Amino acid sequence: MLILFLYQLLIKMFIKDVLSSVDSLDLKTAGSTIVSEKITVHISGWIKTYRNQREISFMAINDGSCLKNIQVLFDTTNYFSYEGEVGVIKEKIDRLSVGASVELKGVLVKPPDSSKEPIELHIIDILHMGVIEDRETYIIGKGRVKPEVMRKHQHLRCKTNYFSAIMKIRSCASYALHTFLQENMFHHLDPNVITTSDCEGAGEVFQIVSPDDICNGGTEDFFRKKAYLTVSSQLQLEAICSGLGRCYTMNPSFRAEKSSTSRHLASFTHVEYELSHCGLKGLMDISEEMVKYAIVQCLEKCPDEYAFLNSYFSKGILERLQKYGTCEYPRISYDEALDVLIKAKQGRKLKISDEDMPSWGDDLGSVCERYLAERHYESPLMIYNYPKDLKSFYMKEDQANPKVVNCMDLIVPSIGELIGSAVREDSYDKMVSNMDAKGIDRGPLEWYLDLRRNGTWRHAGAGMGFERLVGLLTMTAENFNVRECVPFPVAYGECDY
C-alpha cells in the first residue's frame, strides 16, 4: 500500500509539473503571484480588450482559467530587451483585435501604484497568434452582445463572459454532484441509451431507424425489434441497484416533445439515482442534501463568476442561492398544495383562470408550481403524494390512501420542477395491475417485472434535469432559458451543430 501511495504521489507531482511549467503562467494563479523582481513568462489566451496607439499598445488577455484578465502592453520606448525586432512585433500587434488568440512571451512586473491591476505583462515577443480575418462581421468584436443574439452563434458563446461564467458553474456543479453521490456510496454506472422500452409509457420517444430500415420501408429493424433513444435510465438503474444497493447516472435522455418553451430540451443531461431499502422520507432527505451541496460548492468555488452574474445579468442571485443552500425546504402534500392554491386564488394573490385552476386529480401546472415556490414559500419546496392516476405505473401506492402514490417533486423558484422522484412499486401483482390499467405492453418489460418476482425489495429513486439545476445556479426568473445552460442545445426545431 505504501509503494502504491508513493507511486500515485509521484504521478500527481509529474502531471502538475507538466501542466504548469516554470516559464508558463495561467491567469487563475497570476493574480496571486508576488512580483519582487522581473520574471519572464509565457502567457496564452484571447484578447478581451484592445487599444493600439503609435508607441504603446494595451490589451487585456484571458486564458479561460478564470474570469479575470491580465493587462499586457507593448511599449516601443521601454527599457526591456526584445527578443524579436521591435518593428516586427509592432507589425504583429497592428494585425490583432478583440477575439484574436495570442501566445506571448513577456516580463511580469508590478505596475505603478496608480494602476488598479496587481500585475501586468510587458511583451517581449509574440510566439503565435490567430487573427480575426474579418473584423467588420466578427460579432464579439462589437462589444457586449445580448445572450439572445449569441444563441445564433453558439460556437462563439463560450468566448463571452456571460456564457463562460455559466459553463464554469455548470462544470463545478457536475463535479459537486459526482462528489456528493460518491461520498454517499452511490456507484456511477451509465446504462444503455438505446432501449426497447419508453419507460414513462408516454410515447414521446425518438425511434432508432437504420439506413436499411428506410430502404426496405421500415420492415427490417436493425435490432430485430423496435428500439428508441431512452427517455430515462431509471428501469435499468433499478436492476443495477438490486445488487449494488445504490447507483446513479448522468446519461443523456431524449424527449420528442414538440415544445419550444424556455424550459424544454430534446436532449438533456439526466441525473438519476436509485436507493435500495429506502422510503419516501429518505428519498426526500438525500435529494434536498444533494441540491444544497451543489449550491454551496458552486458558491465557494466560483466567486468571481457569481460576482459577475450578480452585477450584470442575474441580479440578486447571490443572496437567493445563499438562502437556498442553507434553509429547510418545506415539505407539503399534494392536498396541502391544492389548499394553498385555492386560498391564494380566492384572495386574488394567484392570478389564474377558472379553466386553468387545478382541482383534485389534476396536474398542478407550472403557473401554480412557481407561485408556491416564488411567492408563497419563497424557497425550493417538496410536494409529495400526488394522485395515482397522474403518475407512472412504477410508483408505489400509499398504504394509508391508495388513491395517491409515494412520490415527490422538488419545485424551485424561477425554474419549476427540478426533481421528480418516487418510491418504486415492489409488488409484482400491483405492478402488473398498474401496467394493464395504463395500457402498457408488458412484453418489452418482462425483465423489469422479473425483479419483482424474484427477490423484490423496497427501493426509491429520482431524476433531475441537470440543465435546470444549472439554470437555478446561474439565472433568475427574468433571464432563465434552458438553452443557455448547455453548450450546444438540441430542442424542437433546433439542432444546428
Residue-wise pLDDT for 318-376, tens only, equals 999 999 999 999 999 999 999 999 999 999 999 999 999 999 999 999 999 999 999 99
CB 285 within 8 A of CB 292: no
Structural element, H or E, at residue 367: helix 365-370
Q: Are residues 290 and 401 in the same domain?
A: yes
pLDDT of res. 20? 40
Q: Which of 321, 224, 239, 223 is nearest to 272 (CA)?
A: 239
Q: Which of 354, 328, 330, 331 is nearest to 341 (CA)?
A: 354
With respect to residue 456, please indicate whether it lies within any of the assigned structural domains.
Answer: yes
With respect to residue 148, please indicate whether it lies within any of the assigned structural domains.
Answer: no
Domain CATH for 251 = 3.30.930.10
Q: Are residues 301 and 184 in the same domain?
A: yes
Q: 122: which strand partners?
A: 73, 107
Domain membership of residue 193 as a residue range: 156-330+379-485
Q: Are residues 462 and 405 in the same domain?
A: yes
Encode pLDDT of 280-300 as tens digits: 999 999 999 999 999 999 999
The DSSP secondary-structure symbol of 366 reads H
Q: Are residues 75 and 192 in the same domain?
A: no
- Where among 81, 111, 143 does a domain terminate? 143
- State how many domains the chain has: 2
The mean pLDDT of 405-433, rounded to a whole number, is 97
Q: Are residues 386 and 295 in the same domain?
A: yes
pLDDT-derived band of residue 16, with 50, 70 and 90 as boundaries? very low
Window from 194-198, 263-267, 430-434, 457-461 with minimum mean pLDDT: 194-198
Q: What span, in angstroms and rounded, lies between the C-alpha atoms of 178 and 158? A: 24
Q: What is the rounded average pLDDT for all residues in the chain? A: 90
Encode pLDDT of 243-263 as tens digits: 999 999 999 999 999 888 888
Domain CATH for 91 = 2.40.50.140
With respect to residue 350, please indicate whether it lies within any of the assigned structural domains.
Answer: no
- Where among 143, 174, 202 does a domain terminate? 143
Using the predicted structure, report yes or no on whether residue 388 has a pLDDT greater than 80: yes
With respect to residue 64, please indicate whether it lies within any of the assigned structural domains.
Answer: yes
Higher pLDDT, 22 or 282: 282
Q: Are residues 175 and 138 in the same domain?
A: no
Q: Is 177 exposed, middle or buried (0-12, 13-18, 19+ CB in 10 A)?
A: buried
| Residue % of the chain over a pLDDT of 90 | 75
pLDDT of res. 435? 95
Q: Are residues 134 and 177 in the same domain?
A: no
Q: Are residues 87 and 53 in the same domain?
A: yes
The DSSP secondary-structure symbol of 375 reads I
Q: What span, in angstroms and rounded, lies between the C-alpha atoms of 310 and 476? A: 10
Q: Are residues 130 and 274 in the same domain?
A: no
Q: How would you classify the pairing of strands 56-62 and 70-75?
A: antiparallel
Q: How would you classify the pairing of strands 187-188 and 246-249?
A: parallel
pLDDT of res. 219? 58
pLDDT-derived band of residue 99, with 50, 70 and 90 as boundaries? very high
Q: Are residues 303 and 435 in the same domain?
A: yes
Encode pLDDT of 124-173 as tens digits: 999 999 999 999 899 998 778 899 999 899 999 999 999 999 999 999 99
The mean pLDDT of 22-51, rounded to a whole number, is 77
Q: What span, in angstroms and rounded, lies between the C-alpha atoms of 17 and 15? A: 5
With respect to residue 344, please indicate whether it lies within any of the assigned structural domains.
Answer: no
CB 411 within 8 A of CB 372: yes
